[in-house]
Structure 1
Amino acid sequence: DFKTTALHAIPSYAIRLAEVIQEEGIDPTSTSLKTLVIGAEPHTDEQRKKIERMLGVKAYNSFGMTEMNGPGVAFECQEQNGMHFWEDCYLVEIIDPETGEPVPDGEIGELVLTTLDREMMPLIRYRTRDLTRILPGECPCGRTHLRIDRIKGRSDDMFIIKGVNIFPMQVEKVLVQFPQLGSNYLITLETVNNQDEMIVEVELSDLSTDNYIELEKVRKDITRQLKDEILVTPRLKLVKKGSLPQSEGKAVRVKDLRQNQ
């Protein structure tokens, strides 16, 4: 009704919007949408490309947080090769989340910010818990503000199972490669017979089949790739589309039940 041309949304909401458009039988290229900005949730480049295919527009990464004036702290340019930080407003550091020591440009660590233009309640060396890296070199667009990579995850998102450190993004990186799978998934951590167990539930897409033999082959392929990526063999469940709860805000990807068992 409003002929909206630009949308700023979290990736999971953008995908849900695209799914509703498909369900309604609408051609996404027939809408007035021209530009999409995504952020506030860790996501893979594969997920970004999936969103672009589903909505028929370019999707640009952004970074922001409530403590730092909300969205718009850093944005991608047309090159889609890292987010330019407003260095006249923020001092950017990347540190080792364990030691607190600075890491070299190009190395992943925790993003730390200091406000430079805030007179009321300035923040000094504020630890965001977001994991990223400073991209070395100049951007082809000509802008000289430093660039950070897409947010890889959060230091407090990481979970440990069977002695292995795992981020939800590693699981998503594998899942998005399979067209038979939808965008909604849930990782559940349980204790069974005094052993940690990781269950990954993922919804099937409209492109999936009802053939049990084919689905079982897909399940085994996904399980094998997950083991290669995270070094742990999870119990994978393929569930019907719409079976998992839809998040109203940021998607909840991990449910840790171990402390209750």
Structure 2
Amino acid sequence: MLLWQKEEQTMPLDDIKQLQLERLQSTVNRAYENVDFYKSQLKSLNIKPEEISKLEDISKLPFTTKQDLRDNYPYGLFAVPLKDIVRIHSSSGTTGKPTVVGYTKRDLETWKDLVARVMVAGGVTKDDIVHIAFTYGLFTGGFGLHYGAEHIGASVIPVSSGNTRRQLLIMQDYWSSTLICTPSYALHIAEIMEKQGLTADDIHLKYALLGSEPWGEKIRAEVEEKLGVIATDNYGLSEVIGPGVSGECLQKNGLHINEDHFYAEIIDPETGEVLPEGELGELVLTTLTKEGMPLIRYRTRDITRLFRDNCKCGCTFVKMEKPSGRTDDMLIVNGVNVFPSQVEEVLTEFDHATPHYMIFVKKKGHLDQMEINLEISEHLFFDEMKKQRALLDSLTEKMFTVLGIKPKIKLVEPRTIERFEGKASRVVDTRNE
């Protein structure tokens, strides 16, 4: 069993629920007493903290949204004096004011343990050399995984992002055994290796812990084959804590949520109604131990489902499926809701389609037009047109079945679509320009 905190991670379900209730009650009380935003929210709904007497009572509490964080920028949601905040992170603020997060000393200790759980579940030990190719700075990914890896006792190389040829040189010379980055960047590394005539045998990687963007099984298979690694997914978001919310174990069947520190719900994104375990909907998270900035019922906008199984790793925590999309990156094309992840899902079914694609949405007259530029394998690109036409027809029909619309699909030459070192940005929507 690969568990960092065996006693906590193997608790019986009844014990987990009891602990969650106690910590939820403490969190609601602390937020009510110390955060004006929550006090006014609860008062406006005529809710008193003592009314939370069972876990199901959480549905009485209001949701918190990213806009609430922006409205209380920068420190309005902190529950402790600024002198007790020892670390501040924030989002990039590319779509408005950044969201700011504060951590107490105890929060940082908790964070280290949560990331250590995810890393150990993914195979990392104190004997590993962890190559972190996430950006360092206000983004939580770099520092979060850095301190978690050190907490295990692993050696850490804080390479940060960019300069891929240098990254590969360091991987070779320093014997990096674990790669931390986005799945898109892992594919980019594999591509540069190929250009340099390198194979998985020329580097020493064993594991890749990939996160920060959605990715599917086709990308996993390509990363594992080309880099010679076991690739696992991990999930987090800056507003809640950063990485460490959940992660896959080596079974690669869902991400264990650290539910002794986070209470997870799935809701109908339209109505806000709580859905039963197993139903697909929007993930909502409540922090149960965060001191600096507790969040109650935070709407992540990520679409997933929760389920429990008897996982061979021994962890008893609830699992979430890999997020299949977001409620806020949904495209509405001629009245039809389309998630970019649905496009990727279709592509995984076709052997000659690569994971590299771009979606363009523009106006043609008064109608929306969606075009997908898709890289295909080198073999097919230089093959006969008849085979390309057959692939195009099959892709178009399958897209129509899954999406409900027929996008225009353009097959492009290998390595002509932009590679991303950070989060992949696969949609260009020019309808409002």
1:112 aligns with 2:268: no
1:212 aligns with 2:381: no
1:191 aligns with 2:383: no
Structure with bigger helix share is 2
Query: CA shift at 1:76, angstroms?
Result: 1.0
Query: CA shift at 1:47, angstroms?
Result: 2.4
1:222-233 mapped onto 2 (5 Å cutoff): 222-233=395-406
1:20 aligns with 2:163: no
SS of equivalent to 1:185: strand
Query: CA shift at 1:152, angstroms?
Result: 0.9
Aligned to 2:204: 32
CA distance in 1, matches of 2:333, 2:194: 37
Query: CA shift at 1:81, angstroms?
Result: 1.0
**Does the CA contact (< 8 Å) of 2:381 and 2:413 recur in 1?**
no
1:258 aligns with 2:418: no
CA distance in 2, matches of 1:140, 1:146: 13
Query: CA shift at 1:141, angstroms?
Result: 2.1
Once structures 1 and 2 are overlaid, which stretch shifts more, 217-226 or 145-154?
217-226
Query: How does the TM-score come out when normalised to structure 1?
Result: 0.93
CA distance in 1, matches of 2:205, 2:349: 26
1:235 aligns with 2:405: no
CA distance in 2, matches of 1:242, 1:45: 21
Which consecutive residues of structure 2, in runs of 5 or more, have no partner in the other structure? 1-172
| Amino acid in the other structure paired with 1:204 | I
Query: CA shift at 1:75, angstroms?
Result: 1.1
Spell out, residue by residue over 1:49-69, the C-alpha distance to the aligned partner (whole angstroms, 9 max, x if none).
232222222111110111222
**Does the CA contact (< 8 Å) of 1:179 and 1:207 recur in 2?**
no
**Does the CA contact (< 8 Å) of 1:88 and 1:116 recur in 2?**
yes
Mark the CA change 1:251 to 1:153 in structure 2 (over 3 Å): closer, same or farther. Answer: same
Once structures 1 and 2 are overlaid, which stretch shifts more, 23-32 or 3-12?
23-32
Mark the CA change 1:258 to 1:159 in structure 2 (over 3 Å): closer, same or farther. Answer: same
CA distance in 1, matches of 2:421, 2:181: 12
The alignment's C-alpha RMSD in Å is 1.6
Q: How many residues are treated as equivalent by the alignment?
A: 260
CA distance in 2, matches of 1:209, 1:117: 53
CA distance in 2, matches of 1:76, 1:167: 23
**Does the CA contact (< 8 Å) of 1:64 and 1:72 recur in 2?**
yes
SS of equivalent to 1:63: strand
Query: CA shift at 1:80, angstroms?
Result: 0.9
Once structures 1 and 2 are overlaid, which stretch shifts more, 98-107 or 138-147?
138-147
Aligned to 2:221: 49
1:161-200 mapped onto 2 (5 Å cutoff): 161-200=333-372
Percent identity over paired residues:
41
| Amino acid in the other structure paired with 1:240 | E
Aligned to 1:10: 182
**Does the CA contact (< 8 Å) of 1:93 and 1:102 recur in 2?**
yes
SS of equivalent to 1:258: coil
CA distance in 1, matches of 2:350, 2:193: 21
**Does the CA contact (< 8 Å) of 2:176 and 2:205 recur in 1?**
yes
1:121 aligns with 2:303: no
**Does the CA contact (< 8 Å) of 1:75 and 1:84 recur in 2?**
yes
SS of equivalent to 1:200: strand
CA distance in 2, matches of 1:181, 1:150: 21
| Amino acid in the other structure paired with 1:232 | I
Higher gyration radius (CA): 2
SS of equivalent to 2:260: coil
Query: CA shift at 1:204, angstroms?
Result: 2.7
Which consecutive residues of structure 1, in runs of 5 or more, have no partner in the other structure? none
2:330 to 158, 171, 194: 158
**Does the CA contact (< 8 Å) of 1:187 and 1:253 recur in 2?**
yes
**Does the CA contact (< 8 Å) of 2:282 and 2:299 recur in 1?**
yes
CA distance in 2, matches of 1:254, 1:209: 23
Query: CA shift at 1:218, angstroms?
Result: 2.0
| Amino acid in the other structure paired with 2:277 | D
Aligned to 1:147: 319
SS of equivalent to 1:208: helix
Query: How does the TM-score come out when normalised to structure 2?
Result: 0.57
Spell out, residue by residue over 1:80-120, the C-alpha distance to the aligned partner (whole angstroms, 9 max, x if none).
11111111211111111111111111111111111111111
Query: CA shift at 1:134, angstroms?
Result: 0.5
